[in-house]
Chains A and B, each alone.
Chain A
Amino acid sequence: MRGTRWLRAAGALLIAIGATACTAPGGQAGAPAGASGGGGGEGLPPTIKILSTRALTGPVSFAGINAQKGIDLAVERIAQDGLLGGSTLEIETKDVAASTQEAASAASQAIADPSYAAILGPEASAQAAAVSPIAQSAGMPVVYVQAGSEGVLVGDYTFRVTPPAQSYFALVGAHLAGKGVRTASVLFNSGNPTLVELGQKAVPALGEQHGFQVVGSAGVEVTAQDFTTAASQIAGQGPDVAFLMLTGPQSPVAITQLRQAGFTGEIVGMSAMGAGNLAPAGEQAAGAIWPTNFTATQAAPTSQEFVRAYQAKYGGEMPNNYAAEAYDAVWFIARGIARANSVDRAAVQQGLAAIAAEGFAGAQGDITFDGHDARVPGVLVRWDGAGEAVLEDGTP
């Protein structure tokens, strides 16, 4: 009797394993184990669920809150557009603040729940780097905004819609060459991999290409608040231009202290200077320039279409790059699902890969992909003391 029960249990287990094997990753060759959902091409369900892990609170909430606005607008516009036929895109947002554990936990829960077709990943690189291996091994497509460090794009299932700053940084070089810049100093945040790479590699490379020499380069700790000494050093070096590869909150402080130290040359930053971060420095930051993947006044028709829709929805508020990137990310996922005509995760991955290969026009302008990493023409922006204005548009 006991032996019969064991045989029945073993038989049931074998049947279950067989059934799982039959429904595993949509029959796609080379897809990672663990992907769930039905076979590809069976059409779209009435509701398509996406998990969005955002930093709506905490130190990067300035990015998360603005991204959420872009997401909400994109969902509305996709419904109006009819891209997904009669299906509704439902984005469930989880606030993971700055917690890597919470981001990884939320992603794991979504992976275990077969009703989720994809994940809109967290902004912070540390969080993204924790989510990516889990998602990749489970066959869950993840699309990131921000999350610029290495280790985020780890395989076929991971995509990023925010282009790396290095890819459009060349815009600065041509501008500085035109102004006859011969010498430069660099101040970079030594705790941020993207900013370190920009400060230690991208700027010197730009100098070699456009004929200026880096006469000083210094790092500051990740949470540095006071730049008095660094500012005095740069003012003493007397370069034509100072590159400030710092975080958003650090940028207005560094600019203010550079000017107080007597530095009168050009100041170049990066996209962290956007999103209103220079407002506290006001007039003292006037003239600071930075290359960015999006500004609300860039010329691309699809960018302006996005800006108009955003202003209509949010009472005339101007969108920033975080909103634009998230808007593009949602459209990217929706296009991938529409192309797959399925919410099977392996099929969605194939759909996303196909859209990435073609590129599309979005809020950031014409978006192409280098592998799974987005590229945009970029735009050079100038702070005029009260707001940002386009100096040079990378769109041909």
Chain B
Amino acid sequence: MAQDVLNALTLGSLYLLFALGMSLAWGTIGVLNFAHGSIFMFSAFGAHLAVQAVPLPMPAMIAIGVGIGAVLSLAVQVLAFEPIQRRAADAHTAQLQIIVAGIGIAGIPLAVAQYVTRSVPFGYSAGTFEVTVHDLGPVRVTDVQVVILVAALGIAGLIAWWLRAARAGLALRAIGVDAEVAAMMGVDRRRLALLTMAVAGGLAGLAGVLLTYHLGSIAPETGDAFLLKAFAAIILGGVGSIAGVVIGAMVLAGIETLVLVTTSGTWAPAIAFGVLFAMLLVRPRGLLGRMEVRRT
């Protein structure tokens, strides 16, 4: 039982790390970035290429992954999303075009990684870090699991605090509520949008590297599967709410783990998404949608 709870928390933390960046960008600057999964995978892949050349420790790998994720995300914002936002007739049209552009852009890093790896899984076995397993009474926990749990919950707390207490965070929330009014109040929307996308990309990179350490290897297509789960977690928790994403990710992972433990496992995705669907019928804005009013 304790082991199952730990496994569910780890899975939920992985969903959370992935979903945090998506949620931040969607809930504040209105960018639903469907290239997030590709950035997540390509950051991990970039770190893999680096470790093949030079044996690196885990902190260096994380730094590389975060850096690649941030740069890729910034590039997507500057080269694709900003021009769309400038040219679109209205905000709603821009959001739809950004979704389509994100789906299209996602194919590029995926194709590159598939071409280089031939879709064979890749990992960090050439690095200096080795996963250690600890027996703590009834549970077995790896050091990577501990890092994932601390990173996911710590970063979620940090972002939630920053959005509520820091001046820049408050400005970002103001953009989420009404971008035009925020601009009239002196908020530099472009600068904050770039910062948000860089943070979102960096979080994707962090999640990609940690997931690769946790699983031992990932495939180029791994990002696609996580994108769907993260999207579900955000919708369940309530768009734009950091606390909602935390709850959404943990509930999704909890249901999946419960189904796996109590049934043959075949129905895990169907039951998990069925429960989500039923919950959204009752609370269309997500679990914390009403409490958070509009945006974080």
Contacts and interface: CB of A to CB of B under 8 A. Distances in A.
Interface of A: 57-62, 65-66, 190, 217-221, 223-226, 228-230, 232-233, 236, 248-249, 252-253, 256-257, 260-262, 275-277, 279-282, 284
B121 to A, nearest CB: 4
B93 interface: no
A279 B120 contact: yes
Interface of B: 3-4, 7-8, 10-11, 14, 111, 114-115, 118-123, 125, 131, 133, 140, 142, 211, 214-222, 224-226, 257, 260-261, 264-266, 268-269
A280 B217 contact: yes
Nearest to A61: B119
Contacts of A282: 125
A57 B111 contact: yes
A221 B225 CA distance: 11
Contact of A218 (B214, B217, B260): B260
Given A62-B120, A248-B120, A280 B214 contact: no
Nearest to A279: B120
A280 B125 CA distance: 6
A225 B218 contact: yes
Contacts of B220: 59
A88 B264 CA distance: 54
Contacts of A220: 260, 265, 268
Nearest to A196: B266
A281 B121 CA distance: 10
A277 to B, nearest CB: 6
A280 B217 CA distance: 6
A232 B11 CA distance: 14
B259 to A, nearest CB: 10
Contacts of A58: 114, 119
A261 B133 CA distance: 8
Given A232-B3, A232-B7, A252 B14 contact: no
Given A57-B115, A279-B125, 9 more contacts: A221-B268, A223-B221, A228-B11, A232-B4, A232-B140, A249-B217, A252-B123, A276-B120, A277-B120
A233 B261 contact: yes
Contacts of B211: 225
Contacts of B266: 190, 218-219
Nearest to A256: B216
A282 B264 CA distance: 29
B121 A252 contact: yes
A217 B264 contact: yes
Pick from A223, A228, A232, A282 the residue with the most CB of B within 10 Å. A228
A233 B215 contact: no
B114 A59 contact: yes
B140 A229 contact: no
Contact of A61 (B114, B122, B268): B114
Nearest to A63: B119
Contacts of B140: 232, 260-262
17 contacts: A58-B119, A217-B264, A219-B264, A223-B221, A225-B218, A226-B214, A229-B7, A229-B260, A233-B260, A236-B3, A249-B120, A249-B217, A257-B215, A260-B131, A260-B142, A280-B123, A281-B125
A54 to B, nearest CB: 13
B255 to A, nearest CB: 12
